[in-house]
Amino acid sequence: MSEVVTNPAKDVASAEQPLSVLLFHAAMKQEVALSEFAKSLGIGALSLRQFIAGQTQRPRGRTLELLAKELSMTVDEVRQRTTLRPLAAPRFDEWLEAKMKEKHFSRAKLTRETHISDGALRNYLSGQTLPDSDQSQRLAEVLEIESLELAQVLVADHTVRSGGQTLSPTAGSGDGDPNATAAGLGNRSDEARLLNAANQGNDEERLLSLWNKLHPQGRRATLIYIAGLLAEG
């Protein structure tokens, strides 16, 4: 079954996609999981997932060179795209349910044609988990959806789940849509204050107060970010 988009990642770069979307899309086109894609790039799987979720905006020079080579871009282009946020999109579970209805796919039929387990599809449709890049490519091919469209939906969902913000399709590149962040997750302002307070050596009481303000997803995103910094030395 042929897919609408067959060009490599560099051919969609002109659409001003953020680095997160381009990386996830590139992994999809290679039909590999993100962990395998990270290995082929020569970077850590955790670092790649942080890029996908928009949690890394200041990658090291060597990492930028590796990403630039994979995406057939200059280092400056890659660096600039780390600052871009994905456009707001429907939650993946809602998007998938709508596409299944549109294409007249039952869960059993989708399981059969994608070779994705019924349990995994149940988790996708309930919003519990998101598909990896290889599974995403299979969904795009079977549902006859542009792989880039699916990459945009998934990266936006990853971003919101990690406590980040997406942009309204009508917003400028520097103006976030206050409604684009999922209800209950908030934005990164509290996380930023917490990290700044920690860097400045503020007392434990203030740090605890900031920590308690974070939504659980925000706490997880903050811990992942700190772990990434420690891993990079």
Hey, where are the domains in the chain?
9-81, 92-161, 189-231
Check residue 182 and report its DSSP letter.
Answer: P
31 SS3 class: coil
Q: Which helix (H) or strand (E) holds 152?
A: helix 147-161
Check residue 189 and report its DSSP letter.
Answer: H
- The CATH class given to the 92-161 domain equals mainly alpha
* pLDDT in 10s for each residue of the chain, 233 residues: 444 444 444 444 445 789 999 999 999 999 999 999 999 999 989 888 888 887 766 778 888 899 999 999 999 998 888 888 899 999 999 999 999 999 999 999 999 999 999 999 999 999 999 999 999 999 999 999 999 999 999 999 999 988 888 887 655 444 444 334 433 333 444 444 555 555 455 566 666 666 666 656 556 656 665 665 565 54
pTM: 0.69
Asked if 9-81 and 92-161 have one fold, the answer is yes
- One-letter amino acid identity for 128? Q
Torsions phi, psi for 87 (to 5 deg): -70, 150
Distance between CA atoms of residues 139 and 111, nearest Å:
10
Least Cα distance to 148 among 9, 45, 43, 51 occurs for 9
Instruction: Specify the CATH number of the domain 9-81.
Output: 1.10.260.40
